[in-house]
Structures are given as C-alpha cells and as structure tokens.
Amino acid sequence: MLQGNSARGGLRLEAHKERSTREPIAQASAPALAVLPLDQHAGHPAMPIVAIGDRVAIGQAIARPTGDVSAWLHAPVSGEVVGIEPRPSVTRDCMPAPSIVIASDARETRHPPERTIQDFLAVDPLELREWIGRGGIVGLGGAAFPISAKLATGAQAAELALLINGAECEPYISCDEMLMRERADDVLHGARILMHALQAREGIIALEDDAPLAAESLRAALAKIEDDRIRIQIVPTIYPSGGERQLIASVFGREVPFAGLPPDIGILCHNVSTAAAVARWVRDGEPVVSRVVTITGDGVERARNLEARLGTPVAQLIAECAGYTPRVERLLMGGTMMGMPLSTDEVAVVKGTNCIVAASAMDLQPRQPEMPCIRCGNCSEVCPAYLLPQQLHLNARAMDLAGLERYGLMDCIECGCCDYVCPSQIPLVARFREAKPRLAEHLRARDDARDSRLRYESRAARLQRLEAEQRARLEEKRRQARRKES
Amino acid sequence: MEFPTSQPPHVVAPNTVARFMRIVIYALLPTMAVHVVFFGPGLLIQSALAIAAALAAEALALRLRKKPLRQYLTDGTAVITALLLALCLPPLAPWWLVVSGTAFAILLAKHAFGGLGMNIFNPAMVGYAVLLVSFPAQLLTWLPPDVPELRTTELSFWQTLTTILTGHLPDAFRWDAITSPTPLDALRTNLAMGMTMQEAHASPIFGGFGGRGWEWINLATLIGGIALLALRIIRWQIPVAMLGSLVVCASIMYAFDPGAYAGPVFHVTSGASMLGAFFIATDPVSAATSDRGRLIYASGIGVLTYTIRTWGGYPDGVAFAVLLMNVAVPLIDRYTIPRIYGHAERP
Amino acid sequence: MTELIAFALMMGLAALSLLASRFAARGADATARARLIERINDVLPQTQCGRCTFAGCRPYATALAEGSADINQCPPGGDSTAEVLAALLGRPPKRVDPEFGIMPSVPMVAWIDEPACIGCTKCIQACPVDAIVGASRYMHTVIAADCTGCELCIPPCPVDCIEMRPASASITEVIEAARFRALPG
C-alpha cells in the first residue's frame, strides 16, 4: 500500500454552475425516435436480443452483454424496433455506430419489473451483485464502465471501503449536484445496497465544498437512515478532484498503485448517479433508461438539468431549453476541460452523457499560436498525477517511447490542467492522446515477447528433461541386459 | 445543426510567453532606476544599444531559420537578454562591447542551439562571459557611485553618449580619474594586499552593508524579485536556494576567520547576487526542471559564486557559476524526476 | 630530486592501473559476454521463428554478441529493433534485409482447419512456444493469444491444414483501453 500525499496539483476554475442549478430537475419529453448505440458502455458492445419489427415496452431488455466487460441495454420508450443499423453516435465521435432504433408509440407502456427487492440485506451478496448487473447499470459519471465487472473485482478485496463520488469538479456540469440535492435518499439507499453487495465495512460520500445545498440534503437523508458506517466528506473545490485516483488520495490519503485498481488498496469508487441508479433498479425494478443531463452554456437560452431518456437527440433537449442563442459557436458533450466536441446535434443521449454545453465565445477561450516550450514548469505544478508534462511533450515530439514510458505517459488522466496553464499555448492533451496508443502498443508487444520467451524456455527445459529421462531409462535397460548376460 | 469542432480543453488561461516576459521586464525596472540614480544615464544608453542589437540579431537568425518574425520578435525574450547583459556591463563601456556581446548571446547562445526553449546556457551570461575573457580592460571602466565622498566629476547625458559611441572620454576627463573598481573588485584587491576585512571595509566604497550604491541596487532587485514571486512568474526554489547557499558558505568562512572573509550580508547584497537569484538563474529554459532539481541547481550556483568570488580569478562569480550549473542541468534532471502518482519510487 | 621521485611514483601508478584493468577485463570478459547476450535477447521479439537463420532468438543473440551475425536479420523485430541493436552493439544502423523475410502488414496467427486435421502432433512438436494444444489422434488447435506468427508449424503438417490468419483484438486490450480512461466525476 503506497502511503502517498493527499492529492496535489490541480486548478481552481470558475464553476459556471449557477445558471443550471437555479431550477429543479425537469423531465424531458420522450423522443419520437430513440437511437441507442450498442457500444454506449466501456468494454464489449451489447448484442441485440430483439429483431426489427418487435414491439418493446419501457424497461424491456433489448440487448445483452457479450464477454466479461459488457452491459445490458433496455428500451427507454415503448414502440416498435424499426432498425438495427449504424447511426451517428457520440461513442464514435459522431461517426456511425451499430444502434437499435425504436419508434415510440407515445403510449409509455412499461415492462413489468422482473423483480423488486425491498429487504436487500436478506439477499446473498453474490446474488445481489449479479442482479445489480442485470439493470444495465454503468458508471454514470461519464466513463460508463459496466458495474458488474467492477463489483466482481471489488468483491475480491478482503476489506473494502466504498467511496461514492459526488465531487463534480469539471466546470459547467451540475447533474450530480442536482441529483444529490433532490434525490439524496436514492443515493444513500444505493450506497447501502452496494455496501451489502460488496460486504464493505464503510461508505464515504465525497463532494466539493462549493455545493452546500447538496451536502445539506445528503446529511438530512443520512440522518434519516441512521447508518453509522456511512459518512459524508467535503473535499476542496479543485479541478480535477473528482478523478477517481485523485479523490481516493484526497479522501483516504492513499494512492492507487500504477499497475493496479482501487480494490487493490481496499477501495471501490462509484459515482452518485450510479448509486442512485442502483437504488432505482434494486428497489423499484427500473433499469437504466434515462439519466440527468445538464444543458448549459451561453449558447442555450435556458440552462437547466433535464432527466432525459436514452436515445433522445441532443437537438430535442436544446429545444426544451428554449433553443440556441444567436451566440452559439460550439457544442460539447461534457464540460469545457475534457468535453468531447460534437459536430452535430442530431446525435442521441447515451448512458455517459452527463452534460451538453452549447458554448459561445464567452465560454470558450481559444488557444493562441503555439510557441516552443520555455520549460517554465507551470504544467508540472498543476499536474494531478505528479507528472512532468514538459518532458512528456519533448519525448512525444520525438516519439521516444522509452522516454515516454519513463516519464509516465500512461499515468496521464488527460485532465487538461497542464494545457490550461501553458504560456506557450501548446496543445499538450492532444499530443499525449496521439502518443498513448503508440506507447500502449509498444508495451503490449513487450509483454507478449516476454510471455513467448517464458513459454519457449519452459518448453526447452521440458524437452531436455524428457531427453534426460529417456537416456536414464536406456542406461537402466542396458545395465539390466548386461546383468542378465553375466 | 452542424458545428465546428476543436480539441479539449476548450478553455485555456490567457497566458502567453510575451506576458510572462513582459512582467519580468517590469520587475527589472526598479533595479534599472536605482542603477541610473547611482551610476548615471550610461545604463539607459547601453540598454537601448543592447535592445537594438538583440532584436536585429534575432531578426537575422529568424530569417535564416525561416521562422515567422513577428511572433518571435514580440515575445520579449531577446529584450530580457539585452537588459540583463546591459546591467552587467560598466555604464561607460564602448558601444561595440554591448552590441557584440548581445549579438553573440542571441545568435550563438540562443539560436545556434535551436532558438527559444532550446538553449542549454543562459544567453546573457554567455555574452557576458565572452566579453569578460575577450575584453577584460573595457569591463573595468566602472564609475564610482554618485555619492559625495566618491564622485568627484560628473558626466552629463551628452558626454556619456559620446563616450559610449566613440570610446573616448571628453577632453576634460581622464579614465583613471573617473573610473573606480566595484566593491567586490576593491575587496579582492585589498585582501590580496594584506588588509583585514575590517580595514578593507573602512574604505568609502563600502556602504552600510554591501558595496556603496550596489546595496541599494540589490535591494531594488529584491523588491522586483518578490513581485515576481507574488505573481507566480518564478517559484521560490531557485532564489531561496541560491541566496541560502551563498549565505551558508559565507557564514561558515566568516565564522572561521572574520578578518579574511566577507560576511553573508555583504555577499548577498553585492555584485549580481540578487540579480542572479531572481532574474538570471531563474531563466526557465536553462534551469533544472523539477522542484528538487531546482534546489540543487541553485544551491550549486550559490556555492560556485562564493568560491569564485573568494578564491577564483574574477571579482564576481555569478556569471560563471550559472554557466557551470547550466552544464550540470541534464544530469540533475535525470536524477530528480519526481515520483509519479501510484508509483513507489522515482523514475 | 623529490620531483623525480614524485614523477616516477605517478607513472608507476598509471602503469599499474593499466595492467590491473587488463587482467580484470579478461576475467570479466565471460560474464560481460553473458550479460550482453541477455541484453540483446531482451530486445529481440521472441518469435523463435528462425528467419534470421539461427534456431531461435537466443542463438541469434549469441551470434550477435560474438560478432558472427549482422543486426539486420530479424524481420519480426523490424527496423526499430535493428536500430536498438545498432546502438547496443556500437555498429552503424541498418534496415532489415528483405532476404530474411518480409512481415505481413497485420499481425497474423496460425489457424488449424479442424475437419482436415489428422491428429499427427507434428505441428505440436514444431511449435517453439507450445501454442498448439492436442495429442496423438486428438484434435489439434492453435491458442491464438500465444501464437507468435513464426510459421514453423506449417511445413511439417502432412495434410497442409494450417494457414495464417489476421489476429483480432483481445478482450484484455479492450479492458486496458477502458482502464486508461479515468474521467473526473
């Protein structure tokens, strides 16, 4: 276990969350046509279990997981499956991805819940974990990692602490904050379910100090359930305090080892929205068919949080926020630091869509012309992974893979802090993103070569041993033959 | 609706190299002002010549290397090199001294290594070192500070200008009458002649705690340096380590024999100590990369400065100390890579 | 006089150290050679294919250390490995000589056409990394993840039922890619 420092580095950024947190979460209208990419979670894409022409109801399973790291997908609207075909998707940078397309019949027919569990403590933890996996639940903080795989790893740890990540550190995104304010009971219920499923000894809900209403709401909900294994921890508002590794360092004072995962040091981290989704699935039998999305930015008239069904086109959500302002210039999925640029608004909300920023010149600060690196060190001062981005940049330019490995390119979380402060305006994140696949390939090739060599050497040893045994047997036979003769 | 795309992060701080350098230049102004008060308008003329030479050399180099002129000429780095070099030279030095030194610094110490961000050595210090070894006589034409006990003759602005441009004093003056050694130079000569520190300090060239005039210049530099620290243009590691190691060395030797060695306060307020600590050693391109590396780098500069001043062949050792530690920077960098999150040891 | 003695002492010391280094070098030669072979072997891709004309990567490494092989003989390692070998051995860099073989543009692995397999185990004996499972008169199959693409199994097969096919991305790669994406909450 590495005794590290509490998280260092990071930036204090303006949050830009006042506009979107003024109104409560509203229900967005269901889409007329729901487009559901099959790869909207990390790992292997789901495999459809419906066919074109099938009628489906809300909450009905329409695709099943394939492989160890995959997730279920459920229908967000009732209607008819009109297509299983490639459609522009945010999961592929607005390029086509295989998707299930459902035309809504507006009847909002719900699929009867397969099972609801009120007394989850009576359920065996393994059974509970498997059941949670059936709800199509993935990490709703943005990474969309299937919960079933995460729970399986977590359950292997001897002693586990559950960390519920409510530290929404990126500017503009406020969906988690609103969820904590309005559905704190769901968050806590989900936390307790997860703690039982993982046999965790404690639960900590972490959030930033710039969300006092959310903290208040959580405390009230915590007081109601009277579970003294759970506590609330406030962390300083620094970007990116919500990054899993940074939050763990900040809350527990320990660092996740480079080649490992949080369960290796007895911690498992889930987003607050994920916890709330677990509660809804286990207690009410409602799988993941919608999520809270923040629509904000100076490019949209009315900034607010909407509970949107999966498959809703972004354009429809913007329309429900009174449309674009004439100043809109770009569309981002996520926040302004790590958000993915969208080339069109005709793409659908997926499980990982936490925020849509319709950005105008006021929200953006474009880069100036790039100058050479002056080695000022601003970048390493703010890096939350304690890297030297300056050296990474130098090695990335030369594509010196050994150098990139030594300076820890794979430890980079692509948060953009270094990019933000660079006086030479170097697009560091883009450079690192280009270099990472090359380094990953090189490391994989090296691991493969090492494995091949081990197999070759053990085979050579085996053949030598067989040969030696053969010779010994031959010797033995000759000796016996000689004895018989004499 | 369609939108153009751009890579994240979509917001960056409006930091530019030009802004960075501009603030450094502003922080250098108090030093220059006090210098002019004590040593006359020579510095202003030298600075003007140096800036002109620096920009001309930079333009030539950029043209030869086929780089965009406007972007690099306006980044302010050449101007800083010019000003630092002008501050190191005597105010009455002939024009060709500062022009050749600056041109050498920009053309060879900066652009021959690859331009902005690629130079191993501090360009201003390279320029100064080249001048020092090539034209030692011209570098001894320092004026005494403008205080009643020392300054007996006054040169007007025009007389200063003509002296610099022609290399000759106006008829009424003689070099040996108006020039005077710097405090560090005087100290060195006096100690070599057998005087003790106390006797040497009795000379009017020494002020309250440092050299006369120079102590105030160093103080003004300290103020500028603190401004840079407050604005987070430089970080504390280099100034603190350099001044700290200088103080430690001086204190040890002073405690050992107060009669033969100058005390820490004198060292820290004399010569280019403050200028070196806050403006020269902090040149980001030629300094070490990590915090720990910077501490080692700057400590080395402090120790070397003290060594050269006390036992070496030159009155002030900052320039050579900086250049020597510049050489050591790649080695320092290799062994002071900070520990990465999640790793047990440093790379 | 004292200067002469000092001079003689210094010269003596210099000569002694030269001799000592010679003797030390001779003894250390063998271990140095073994270390060099290890270092070379570490750099080679471990395909054990024999394209370099040696019976595996370690024999090639040995030959390189002895100076009886050139650095441009390993097609699976490619030009990048040739460059690293050049730096390691202090020789001028070279590109891989195509006469030793040309690698396919995508990584290939062996594949056995199972209906045609007669269970003779000749391919199993030929595989240098034990990537083929099977037994006499039982079905043989290639473990694609372990196959290095050396193609040594293809000539021995009496019914020609082994061919090379492009390798596909494995599940571990997908999980690795997911792990490196640690988005802030």
Q: Which residue of B lies nearest to A403 if distances are taken between CA atoms?
A: B347
Its sign, for the CA torsion B101, B107, B108, B111, is positive
Contacts of C121 in chain A (CB under 8 A): none
pLDDT band, very low/low/confident/very high, at C27 (cuts 50, 70, 90): low
Chain C touched by A215 (CB under 8 Å): no
Token pair belonging to A14:
């303006």
- A160-193: pLDDT as tens digits: 999 999 999 999 999 999 999 999 999 999 999 9
Chain A touched by B66 (CB under 8 Å): no
Q: Which residue of A lies nearest to B293 if distances are taken between CA atoms?
A: A377
State whether B71 and A256 contact (CB < 8 Å).
no
Highest mean pLDDT among A87-96, B238-247, B254-263, C65-74: B238-247
State whether C129 and A166 contact (CB < 8 Å).
no
Q: Judge whether A94 and A343 are in contact, CB under 8 Å.
A: yes
Could you tell me which residues come within 8 angstroms of residue B173 by beta carbon, excluding any fewer than 6 positions away? B153, B155
Of B8, B16, B340, the CB nearest to A425: B16
State whether A411 and B342 contact (CB < 8 Å).
yes
Looking at the DSSP bridge assignments, the partners of residue C111 are C163
CB-CB neighbours of C75 under 10 Å: 22
Pick among A39, A150, A455 to test the C interface (most C CBs inside 10 A): A455
Secondary structure (3-state) at B71: helix
The set of chains that have 3 or more CB pairs under 8 A with B is: A
Report how far Cα B187 is from the mean position of its chain's Cα atoms.
Answer: 21
Query: What is the predicted pLDDT for the residue at C181?
Result: 42
The set of chains that have 3 or more CB pairs under 8 A with C is: A
State whether C184 and A338 contact (CB < 8 Å).
yes
Secondary structure (3-state) at A290: strand
Query: What is the predicted pLDDT for the residue at B208?
Result: 67
Helix (H) or strand (E) holding A87: strand A79-89
Q: Which residue of B lies nearest to A409 if distances are taken between CA atoms?
A: B340
Query: What is the predicted pLDDT for the residue at C174?
Result: 47
Chain A touched by B133 (CB under 8 Å): no
- Secondary-structure breakdown of chain A: helix, strand, coil percentages, each rounded to the nearest 5: 40, 20, 40
Looking at the DSSP bridge assignments, the partners of residue A202 are A161
Contacts of B19 in chain A (CB under 8 A): 423
Q: Which residue of B lies nearest to A345 if distances are taken between CA atoms?
A: B1
Looking at the DSSP bridge assignments, the partners of residue A293 are A306
State whether B11 and A388 contact (CB < 8 Å).
no
Report how far Cα B305 is from the mean position of its chain's Cα atoms.
Answer: 12
- B251-303: pLDDT as tens digits: 999 998 888 888 898 889 888 899 999 999 999 999 999 999 999 999 999 99
Query: What is the predicted pLDDT for the residue at C28?
Result: 66
Query: What is the predicted pLDDT for the residue at C145?
Result: 85
pLDDT band, very low/low/confident/very high, at B92 (cuts 50, 70, 90): confident
For residue C182, pLDDT over 90 is answered with no
State whether A372 and B235 contact (CB < 8 Å).
no
For residue C185, pLDDT over 50 is answered with no
Contacts of C56 in chain A (CB under 8 A): 456
Token pair belonging to A180:
């904590």
Query: What is the predicted pLDDT for the residue at C25?
Result: 64
Candidates B37, B44, B36; CA nearest to B161 is: B44
Its sign, for the CA torsion A193, A195, A198, A203, is positive
Query: Can you tell me the distance from the alpha carbon of B184 to that of B15, in angstroms, rounded to the nearest whole number?
Result: 40
Token pair belonging to A219:
């405390």
**Spatial strand order in the sheet of A61-64:** A47-48, A61-64, A73-74
Contacts of A246 in chain C (CB under 8 A): 184
State whether A375 and B344 contact (CB < 8 Å).
no
Secondary structure (3-state) at A255: strand
Q: Judge whether C143 and C133 are in contact, CB under 8 Å.
A: yes
Candidates A256, A252, A298, A312; CA nearest to A104 is: A312
Chain B touched by A408 (CB under 8 Å): yes
Mean pLDDT of B304-321: 89
For residue C176, pLDDT over 50 is answered with no
Q: Judge whether C46 and A446 are in contact, CB under 8 Å.
A: no
Smallest CA–CA distance, residue C80 to chain A, in Å, is: 11
Query: Can you tell me the distance from the alpha carbon of A265 to that of A156, in angstroms, rounded to the nearest whole number?
Result: 11
Chain A touched by B340 (CB under 8 Å): yes
pLDDT band, very low/low/confident/very high, at B195 (cuts 50, 70, 90): confident
Q: Judge whether A304 and A20 are in contact, CB under 8 Å.
A: yes
**Please, is C2 exposed, middle or buried when counting C-beta atoms within 10 Å of its C-beta (0-12, 13-18, 19+)?**
exposed
Pick among B2, B3, B23, B229 to test the A interface (most A CBs inside 10 A): B3
**Please, is C122 exposed, middle or buried when counting C-beta atoms within 10 Å of its C-beta (0-12, 13-18, 19+)?**
middle
Query: What is the predicted pLDDT for the residue at A7?
Result: 66
State whether A337 and B347 contact (CB < 8 Å).
no
State whether C128 and A169 contact (CB < 8 Å).
no
Smallest CA–CA distance, residue C155 to chain A, in Å, is: 19
Chain B touched by A359 (CB under 8 Å): yes
Hey, what amino acid is at A133?
A: G
Query: What is the predicted pLDDT for the residue at C55?
Result: 85
Mean pLDDT of C9-38: 81
Query: Can you tell me the distance from the alpha carbon of B53 to that of B59, in angstroms, rounded to the nearest whole number?
Result: 10
Looking at the DSSP bridge assignments, the partners of residue C141 are C133
Hey, what amino acid is at A425?
A: Q
Chain C touched by A9 (CB under 8 Å): no
Chain B touched by A317 (CB under 8 Å): no
| ipTM, two decimals | 0.88
For residue B189, pLDDT over 60 is answered with yes
Query: What is the predicted pLDDT for the residue at C172?
Result: 44
pLDDT band, very low/low/confident/very high, at C169 (cuts 50, 70, 90): low
Secondary structure (3-state) at B255: helix
The set of chains that have 3 or more CB pairs under 8 A with A is: B, C
Contacts of A167 in chain C (CB under 8 A): 184-185
Query: Any idea which of B38-42, B167-171, C56-60 has the lowest mean pLDDT?
Result: B167-171
Query: What is the predicted pLDDT for the residue at A201?
Result: 94
Of A240, A445, A452, the CB nearest to C48: A452
Chain C touched by A286 (CB under 8 Å): no
Query: What is the predicted pLDDT for the residue at B18?
Result: 93
State whether C182 and A176 contact (CB < 8 Å).
no
Of B2, B20, B337, the CB nearest to A423: B20
**Please, is A424 exposed, middle or buried when counting C-beta atoms within 10 Å of its C-beta (0-12, 13-18, 19+)?**
buried
Token pair belonging to B85:
């070099």
Smallest CA–CA distance, residue B288 to chain A, in Å, is: 9
Query: Can you tell me the distance from the alpha carbon of B72 to that of B75, in angstroms, rounded to the nearest whole number?
Result: 5
State whether A359 and B10 contact (CB < 8 Å).
yes
Query: Any idea which of B146-155, B179-188, B189-198 has the lowest mean pLDDT?
Result: B146-155
State whether A329 and B235 contact (CB < 8 Å).
no
Query: What is the predicted pLDDT for the residue at C173?
Result: 52
Query: Can you tell me the distance from the alpha carbon of B214 to that of B312, in angstroms, rounded to the nearest whole number?
Result: 21
On average, the pLDDT of chain B sits at: 89
Query: Can you tell me the distance from the alpha carbon of A359 to that of A343, in angstroms, rounded to the nearest whole number?
Result: 13
Smallest CA–CA distance, residue C35 to chain A, in Å, is: 17
Q: Taking a contact as any Cβ pair under 8 Å apart, which residues of chain A between 229 and 268 contact chain B? A: 245, 249, 255-258, 260
- HSE (side-chain half, CA atoms, 13 Å) at C99: 3
State whether A455 and C182 contact (CB < 8 Å).
no
- pLDDT per residue rounded down to tens, chain A (486 residues): 333 345 688 999 999 999 999 999 999 999 999 999 999 999 899 999 999 999 999 999 999 999 889 999 999 999 999 999 999 999 988 999 999 999 999 999 999 998 999 999 999 999 999 999 999 999 999 889 999 999 999 999 889 999 999 999 999 999 999 999 999 999 999 999 999 999 999 999 999 999 999 999 999 999 999 889 999 999 999 999 999 999 999 999 999 999 889 999 999 999 999 999 999 999 999 999 999 999 999 999 999 999 999 999 999 999 999 999 999 999 999 999 999 999 999 999 999 999 999 999 999 988 889 999 999 999 999 999 999 999 999 999 999 999 999 999 999 999 999 999 999 999 999 999 999 998 998 898 888 889 888 999 999 899 999 999 999 999 999 999 999 887
Contacts of C177 in chain A (CB under 8 A): 42, 440
Query: Can you tell me the distance from the alpha carbon of B64 to that of A167, in angstroms, rounded to the nearest whole number?
Result: 52
- Asked, as a colleague might, if the bond just before C76 is cis with ω within 30 of 0, I would say no
- Asked, as a colleague might, if the bond just before A341 is cis with ω within 30 of 0, I would say no
pLDDT band, very low/low/confident/very high, at C26 (cuts 50, 70, 90): low
Contacts of A176 in chain C (CB under 8 A): 185
- A278-307: pLDDT as tens digits: 999 999 999 999 999 999 999 999 999 999
Chain C touched by A455 (CB under 8 Å): yes
Q: Which residue of B lies nearest to A257 if distances are taken between CA atoms?
A: B342
Query: What is the predicted pLDDT for the residue at B33?
Result: 94
For residue B137, pLDDT over 60 is answered with yes
pLDDT band, very low/low/confident/very high, at B153 (cuts 50, 70, 90): low
Pick among A244, A346, A374, A422 to test the B interface (most B CBs inside 10 A): A374
